[in-house]
């Protein structure tokens, strides 16, 4: 496959993100901000060019067999340990199937299309503008900063919250059926876990649940730290592949030892060092 520049990976006719003064870019930024303010989610349809999508998909498919699967196969909404001091029906103590896998960040080298796009400064600047942030940094977690969520037939990712306030995803391959992204916007806040609201969703209340129809090549902004979300079981024969790029407002952010080990099967010295003084903007359960 022809080696593409990061700029060529993106559909420049629709998304001239490197042209900082472009009225078209400003319109896209304004639309994203409006959508995020409305419900914590925004989608840029056909963000990837045809060649760009093919390149990123090929890299993910080549690495699919490297995906880590946690043999426990169950998790709570915080992707953490249970708490015996809390009632049995508390969200912290309720575990649901989590059978998807992840290809870790360290499976991509600096020459890959995916990693070069992730490190491309104009992409970071564009995302920073869309998110209305004063600063944006590449997430420094060496295991999870850029990953692929692998969801084969029958696999699912249970209801959960993210460590980061926001996540950037690009759907590379959709499931033939199932594999739908569902979310409940702003279910918790930096000051309130809203255990009652989370419990209601876990009990089957779909009043606030929204379903998003993502298509291959789409880019999604999502405020996953405050919005409960999941991916429903893949009921088709095609593996769902989702590229996930994480960024942070604060330099030095990495995941917790427990969460990284559970999701990705390995931790590093960076995780162990950060566990003593985690970089977080709130006191929510991770």
Domain boundaries, the chain: 21-69+99-263
Could you give the 3-state DSSP secondary structure of residue 32?
helix
How many whole angstroms separate alpha carbon 230 and alpha carbon 179? 9
29 Cβ contact list (under 8 Å, min separation 6): 126, 129, 130
pTM: 0.94
**pLDDT per residue rounded down to tens, the chain (286 residues):** 579 999 999 999 999 999 999 999 999 999 999 999 999 999 999 999 999 999 999 999 999 999 999 999 999 999 888 999 999 999 999 999 999 999 999 999 999 999 999 999 999 999 999 999 999 998 889 999 999 999 999 999 999 998 888 899 999 999 999 999 999 999 999 999 999 999 999 999 999 999 999 999 999 999 999 999 999 999 999 999 999 999 988 888 888 888 889 899 999 988 888 876 665 566 676 6
Place of tokens 């992409």: 123
166, two tokens? 């926001």
Q: What are phi and psi of 159, to 5 degrees?
A: -55, 135
Fold for the domain defined by 21-69+99-263 = Jelly Rolls (2.60.120)
Query: What is the residue-averaged pLDDT of the chain?
Result: 94
């Amino acid at each position: 496959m022809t080696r593409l520049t990061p700029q060529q990976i993106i559909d420049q006719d629709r998304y001239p993100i490197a042209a900082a003064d472009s009225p078209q870019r400003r319109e896209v930024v304004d639309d994203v901000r409006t959508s995020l303010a409305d419900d914590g989610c925004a989608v840029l349809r056909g963000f990837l060019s045809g060649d760009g999508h093919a390149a990123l998909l090929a890299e993910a498919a080549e690495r699919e067999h490297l995906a880590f699967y946690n043999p426990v196969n169950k998790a709570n909404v915080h992707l953490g340990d249970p708490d015996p001091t809390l009632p049995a029906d508390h969200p912290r103590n309720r575990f649901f199937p989590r059978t998807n896998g992840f290809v870790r960040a360290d499976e991509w080298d600096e020459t890959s299309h995916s990693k070069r796009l992730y490190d491309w400064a104009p992409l970071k600047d564009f995302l920073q503008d869309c998110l209305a942030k004063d600063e944006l940094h590449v997430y420094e977690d060496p295991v999870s900063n850029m990953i692929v969520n692998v969801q084969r037939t029958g696999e699912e990712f249970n209801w959960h919250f993210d460590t980061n306030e926001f996540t950037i995803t690009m759907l590379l391959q959709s499931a033939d059926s199932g594999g739908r992204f569902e979310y409940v916007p702003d279910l918790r806040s930096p000051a309130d876990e809203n255990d009652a609201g989370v419990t209601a969703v876990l009990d089957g209340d779909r009043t606030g649940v929204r379903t998003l129809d993502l298509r291959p090549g789409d880019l999604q902004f999502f405020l996953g730290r405050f919005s409960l979300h999941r991916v429903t079981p893949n009921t088709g024969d095609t593996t769902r592949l989702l590229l996930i790029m994480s960024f942070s407002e604060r330099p030095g952010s990495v995941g917790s030892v427990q969460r990284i080990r559970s999701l990705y099967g390995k931790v590093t010295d960076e995780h162990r060092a950060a566990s003593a003084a985690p970089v977080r903007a709130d006191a929510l359960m991770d």
